[in-house]
Amino acid sequence: MTLKSATVQTTPYEGQKPGTSGLRKKVKVFTQKNYTENFVQCILDANGSAISGSLLVVGGDGRYYCKEAVEIIARICAANGVAKLLVGQNGILSTPAVSSLIRHNKAYGGIILTASHNPGGPDNDFGIKFNCSNGGPAPDGVTDKIFQLSTAIKEYKIVEDLKIDISKIGTNCYEVDGKPFVVEVIDSVENYVNHMKEIFDFGKLHDFVSGKKTGTPLKARIDSMNGVTGSYVREIFLNCLGATPDSVVHTTPLEDFGGLHPDPNLTYAKDLVDTVAKGDYDIGAAFDGDGDRNMIIGRNAFFVTPSDSLAVIAHYLECIPYFRKNGIQGFARSMPTASAVDLVGQKLGKEVFEVPTGWKYFGNLMDAGRLCLCGEESFGTGSNHIREKDGVWAVLAWLSIMEHTGKSIEDILKNHWSIYGRNYFTRYDYEECELEPCNQMISTMEKTITDPAFKGREFSSLGKTYKVKVADNFGYTDPVDKSVASKQGLRVVFEDGSRIVMRLSGTGSSGATVRMYIDSYEKDNVLGKASEMLKPLINIALEISDLQKFTGRTAPTVIT
Ligand code: VG1
Ligand code: CO
């Protein structure tokens, strides 16, 4: 088919600033005239002449507006000289699957359509994110450039008449302005499933999950929360590993996630937690909308904090063939993540890095061969097999550990704590607060804690006293390219290693979400109840920040 591109005049929109992980706004914002078109053109322009003749991967979590956005992206890419797009069937690709496809196909990059764990549907959220040739989210330098361009954009290029049927797998060839343009619609799961087969021992996992090894099939409840992982989970757990059909639930990706909030935590995955608490299950797991997050719970809904999950996987990495083959480099965590993995790193003599919140900060370290496993307290775990966190990978890692040890999840954790001690951790989220008072709270608290007199101060609550060792607004210099990220979150570190961290979310689509992270280490007292153990520090955090006064909130919306 022979097509011609056109140039369309446009005017800038305010606020097209990518946050922690791409641009996230209400669907109604994205569907304004030229809004999506502007942003996509800016993504391409930020990459300059390299876009011409390039290969890009495009797909998303299947939420409302994904299909329309894929069409817009294809038309704009065609007009800007992109040579080829790899598009998931029906526009569906999980975030980890996109990362894997970029790497396997040596693509120039990818465009991911997701607002991750934010609710979907016409009245909820949509998002667009650009990933680079290493498969990882664009670094700050690139997203800053996209934003700068968006404030001055005057025109975009588009091929209005380009039509693709993304429901059919196959190769569609066009001629645009005299040059070939190809859209290959691919199976959404095939490449990813093959990738997992290279990493894990599917033979062993099959015998363990199907019951061939122990005589009884594993009792699992894996909840895709109507997000994108449904198709991946059915193929991997049912077809490849022989799990019983009732092991997987909510596996049809829905445009509005069935009204669920596709965020795998104790609040939004309550249905899973309640079911596993009441039933006969060895493992419960859930993912977020785009499949990069995971939550792991054991029998009786024994909760594994993501910080502990990372540390346990680090401890047992060698039971996974990929790491036996490629070796174990360093570990990393985001700053608010509890430091359990640091202790494993120390024991194994590995480098451990602390980076700002957001997966984009792990990429350089992985590319430089210094990092093989990393995680965030926000239910993100992953390795250098790709450059995104990976929910299904994390569950396969946990199943490998269960198979290897023959132990229950609770016993695996108790054993871990007996070796390393325990980092009690909790996060309080205050969602949809007013932005201005939250900004004031953060700047006031920053002044307080960076005053030289703050160091050494003592705070007491419920009979416990903590003395301030250091306090700052976290800044990070990338060890590889020396790029600097400043003001990444306020932290107060006490003399016993306990920490209070406060920051504002960068993934919301409106208002402000305050995140308060509390982390307290115990060498011997490892079997306490986290909510009780952390109470004194929570009180102290509320006192230092004066959160109630600024936000008007007496309780968080989500506790994890
Ligand atoms: C949150 C998490 C962060 C995570 C990010 C993207 O960011 O705290 O750890 O990397 O979401 O995850 P923020 O800025 O809202 O705290 V996802 O699954 O939304 O791509
Ligand atoms: Co996500």
Neighbours of 252 (CB within 10 A): 12
Counting from 1 in the atom list of ligand 1, the atom nearest the Cα of 377 is 9
Q: What is the pLDDT of residue 1?
A: 72
- Res 510 pLDDT > 80: no
Our measurement of the distance from residue 110's CA atom to the centroid of its chain's CA atoms, rounded to an integer in Å, reads 16
CA of 293 to the centre of ligand 1 (A): 9
Helix axes 202-210, 391-405, angle to 10 degrees: 70
Counting from 1 in the atom list of ligand 1, the atom nearest the Cα of 376 is 9
State the amino acid at position 466 in one-letter form. Y
DSSP-derived 3-state class of residue 200: coil
Could you give the residue ranges of the DSSP H alpha helices within 54-94?
Answer: 66-79
CA of 216 to the centre of ligand 1 (A): 38
If asked whether residues 459 and 541 sit together in one domain, one would say yes
If asked whether residues 401 and 543 sit together in one domain, one would say no
The strand ranges marked E within 141-207 are 155-158, 170-176, 179-186
Counting from 1 in the atom list of ligand 1, the atom nearest the Cα of 379 is 9
Neighbours of 3 (CB within 10 A): 18
The last residue of one of the domains, among 350, 385, 420, is 420
CB 264 within 8 A of CB 234: no
Average pLDDT, integer, range 332-355: 96
User: Does 131 contact ligand 1 (Cβ within 6 A)?
Assistant: no
User: Does 262 contact ligand 1 (Cβ within 6 A)?
Assistant: no
Residues forming beta bridges with residue 501, ordered by sequence position: 491, 517
Our measurement of the distance from residue 490's CA atom to the centroid of its chain's CA atoms, rounded to an integer in Å, reads 21
Phi, psi of 114 (to 5 degrees): -165, 150
Tens of pLDDT, residues 36-54: 999 999 999 999 999 999 9
DSSP state of 523: S
User: Does 376 contact ligand 1 (Cβ within 6 A)?
Assistant: yes
**How many residues appear in the chain?**
560
If asked whether residues 465 and 548 sit together in one domain, one would say yes
User: Does 257 contact ligand 1 (Cβ within 6 A)?
Assistant: no
State the Cα–Cα distance between residues 29 and 35, nearest whole angstrom. 7
CA of 185 to the centre of ligand 1 (A): 29
Residues forming beta bridges with residue 427, ordered by sequence position: 517
The last residue of one of the domains, among 141, 171, 187, is 187
Tell me what percent of the residues of the chain surpass a pLDDT of 70.
100
CA of 392 to the centre of ligand 1 (A): 17
116 carries an active-site annotation = yes
User: Does 427 contact ligand 1 (Cβ within 6 A)?
Assistant: no
Return the structure tokens found at 394. Answer: 């994390």
CA of 491 to the centre of ligand 2 (A): 25
- Pocket probe mutation, ligand 1, options 378, 381, 516, max atoms within 8 Å of Cβ: 378
pLDDT confidence tier of residue 159, bands split at 50, 70 and 90: very high
- Res 509 pLDDT > 90: no
Residue nearest to atom 17 of ligand 1 (CA): 116
Question: Closest ligand to 431 CA?
Answer: 1
User: Does 21 contact ligand 1 (Cβ within 6 A)?
Assistant: yes
User: Does 125 contact ligand 1 (Cβ within 6 A)?
Assistant: no
Could you give the residue ranges of the DSSP H alpha helices within 279-390?
Answer: 306-315, 321-326, 340-348, 363-367
324-360 burial code (b ≥16 CB/10 A, e <16) = eeeeebbbbbbbbbbbbbbbbbeeeebebbebbbbbb
State the Cα–Cα distance between residues 408 and 418, nearest whole angstrom. 15
Q: What is the domain count for the chain?
A: 3
pLDDT confidence tier of residue 186, bands split at 50, 70 and 90: very high
User: Does 235 contact ligand 1 (Cβ within 6 A)?
Assistant: no
| Catalytically annotated residue among 21, 116, 334, 498 | 116
If asked whether residues 494 and 384 sit together in one domain, one would say no
DSSP sequence for 110-138: EEEE--TTS--STTSEEEEEEE-TTSSBP
Our measurement of the distance from residue 86's CA atom to the centroid of its chain's CA atoms, rounded to an integer in Å, reads 22
CA of 212 to the centre of ligand 2 (A): 34
Measured distance between the N- and C-terminal CA atoms of the chain, rounded to whole angstroms = 53
Q: What is the pLDDT of residue 337?
A: 97
If asked whether residues 399 and 269 sit together in one domain, one would say yes
Decide the pairing of beta strands 499-504 and 512-522.
antiparallel
Residue nearest to atom 19 of ligand 1 (CA): 116
State the Cα–Cα distance between residues 353 and 375, nearest whole angstrom. 11
- Res 508 pLDDT > 80: no
Residues forming beta bridges with residue 127, ordered by sequence position: 24
If asked whether residues 128 and 229 sit together in one domain, one would say no
CA of 356 to the centre of ligand 1 (A): 11
Per-residue CA distances from 190 to 100, 113, 282 (Å): 11, 19, 28
CA of 262 to the centre of ligand 2 (A): 9
The strand ranges marked E within 132-256 are 155-158, 170-176, 179-186, 220-223, 248-249
Q: What is the pLDDT of residue 260?
A: 83
If asked whether residues 158 and 256 sit together in one domain, one would say no
Query: The sheet that has 499-504: what strands, in order across it?
Result: 458-461, 464-473, 490-494, 499-504, 512-522, 422-433, 558-559
Tens of pLDDT, residues 291-304: 999 999 999 999 99
DSSP-derived 3-state class of residue 55: strand
Counting from 1 in the atom list of ligand 1, the atom nearest the Cα of 334 is 9
Residues with a beta carbon under 5 angstroms from ion ligand 2: 116, 288, 290, 292-293
CB 287 within 8 A of CB 237: no
Q: What is the pLDDT of residue 21?
A: 84
Average pLDDT, integer, range 163-174: 96
CB 559 within 8 A of CB 553: no
DSSP-derived 3-state class of residue 184: strand
pLDDT confidence tier of residue 20, bands split at 50, 70 and 90: confident
Average pLDDT, integer, range 114-121: 94
DSSP state of 238: I
The strand ranges marked E within 505-551 are 512-522
State the Cα–Cα distance between residues 209 and 241, nearest whole angstrom. 6
If asked whether residues 171 and 201 sit together in one domain, one would say no
CB 367 within 8 A of CB 344: no
User: Does 219 contact ligand 1 (Cβ within 6 A)?
Assistant: no
Our measurement of the distance from residue 113's CA atom to the centroid of its chain's CA atoms, rounded to an integer in Å, reads 14
pLDDT confidence tier of residue 413, bands split at 50, 70 and 90: very high
If asked whether residues 165 and 177 sit together in one domain, one would say yes
Could you give the residue ranges of the DSSP H alpha helices within 234-304?
Answer: 270-278
Counting from 1 in the atom list of ligand 1, the atom nearest the Cα of 515 is 16
State the Cα–Cα distance between residues 112 and 313, nearest whole angstrom. 28
- Res 86 pLDDT > 80: yes
If asked whether residues 403 and 445 sit together in one domain, one would say no
Return the structure tokens found at 180. Answer: 């070939």
Counting from 1 in the atom list of ligand 1, the atom nearest the Cα of 503 is 16
- Res 444 pLDDT > 90: yes
The CATH number given to whatever domain includes residue 531 is 3.30.310.50
CB 502 within 8 A of CB 544: no
The CATH number given to whatever domain includes residue 333 is 3.40.120.10
CB 25 within 8 A of CB 509: yes
User: Does 423 contact ligand 1 (Cβ within 6 A)?
Assistant: no
The last residue of one of the domains, among 140, 156, 187, is 187
Residue nearest to atom 4 of ligand 1 (CA): 358
If asked whether residues 160 and 221 sit together in one domain, one would say no
CA of 488 to the centre of ligand 1 (A): 13
State the Cα–Cα distance between residues 93 and 113, nearest whole angstrom. 9
pLDDT confidence tier of residue 506, bands split at 50, 70 and 90: confident
- Pocket probe mutation, ligand 1, options 114, 507, 516, max atoms within 8 Å of Cβ: 507
Decide the pairing of beta strands 170-176 and 558-559.
unpaired
- Res 112 pLDDT > 80: yes
CB 4 within 8 A of CB 159: yes
If asked whether residues 157 and 226 sit together in one domain, one would say no
DSSP state of 139: P
Range of the domain at 536: 422-559
